[in-house]
Structure 1
Amino acid sequence: MRMPATAALLASLALSACATGRPAPMVENGYAPGALALAAIEREDWATAERLLTSGRGAQADDPARLINLGRVYMATGRTGEALSTWRLALASDRHDDVETRDGRIVNTADLAREALAHHDRAVRSATR
């Protein structure tokens, strides 16, 4: 396992290089700069984040950290079905890594994908009832 790789998920799960009193610059540890679109996600620049995540720069298409972030972009832009599908792909990966979240937790990408699915899948089910 690579540790810590860095990814971003939900506002409460967004990942950063470290947690300090001041916001730290978003850094993709173990990836090419911008490969996980952390800075774009932090500024809620969803178009740039999606372009970075789908351009194939620095993170492989099936990389769970990239998929988790892409799901975050899809959810933020109202594409709930695509977000849930992307998080399911992240969960199904056989390449999980531990990552450090913005709040300092060390969490496996499989667990982050599960958290995103549990949170949003439940919300989608209740909204459709």
Structure 2
Amino acid sequence: MKMPVLAALCCASLAACASNSSQVAQMEQGYAPGALGVGAIARADWEKAETLLTARNSSASRDPARLINLGKVYMETGRADLAVATWERAFASKHHHEVETADGRIVSTQDLAREALARYSPTVASR
């Protein structure tokens, strides 16, 4: 089974640094091209990233990897409350899986959501 790769997260050390299309494709491995908004996030094209991350079907809207990236978009565009709520949805998901981050860590989507929440919502992160 191929392991999905999650490229962006609210933590700066985990943010995507993709500079070309082959890096973006590798970071979205296991997903349809653009499904995680990696290229748009790497370019700080928040509008495009949000469009990509919210234009999917209802089951995709529950994907913790997409929710983590969408939370990043919300935080970067000044919608902190929405970002935290989105990361809480990712954290509460019953469909966690391991992903490889842009810096090469293998980590569960639940742990990534917890890390995001730890930066902005400490009471949730302690669970």
Following TM superposition, by how much is the alpha carbon of 1:14 offset from its aligned partner in structure 2, in angstroms?
A: 2.6
Q: What per-residue deviation string (whole Å, max 9, x for no partner) do you get for residues 72-123 of structure 1?
A: 000000000000000000000010011111111101000000000001224x
Following TM superposition, by how much is the alpha carbon of 1:4 offset from its aligned partner in structure 2, in angstroms?
A: 2.1
- List runs of 5+ in structure 2 lacking aligned partners: 123-127
Give the length in aligned residue pairs: 116
**TM-score, normalization by structure 1:** 0.81
Q: Determine the C-alpha separation between the residues in 2 that align with 1:114 and 1:4.
A: 20
Q: Determine the C-alpha separation between the residues in 2 that align with 1:117 and 1:88.
A: 7
Q: Is the 8 A contact 2:16 2:42 kept in 1?
A: no
1:10-49 equivalence runs, <5 A = 10=10, 11-14=12-15, 25-27=23-25, 28-49=28-49
CA RMSD of aligned residues (A): 2.1
Q: Is the 8 A contact 1:16 1:100 kept in 2?
A: no
1:67 corresponds to which residue? 67
2:96 corresponds to which residue? 96
1:113 corresponds to which residue? 113
Q: Which amino acid aligns with 1:100?
A: E
- List runs of 5+ in structure 1 lacking aligned partners: 123-129
Q: What per-residue deviation string (whole Å, max 9, x for no partner) do you get for residues 47-72 of structure 1?
A: 00000000006x71100000000000
**TM-score, normalization by structure 2:** 0.82
> Which SS does the other structure have where 2:99 is aligned?
strand
Counting aligned pairs with the same residue, the percent is 55
Q: Which amino acid aligns with 2:24?
A: M
Q: Determine the C-alpha separation between the residues in 2 that align with 1:12 and 1:82.
A: 22
Q: What per-residue deviation string (whole Å, max 9, x for no partner) do you get for residues 8-45 of structure 1?
A: 2123223579xxxx876222111100000000000100
Q: Which amino acid aligns with 1:79?
A: R
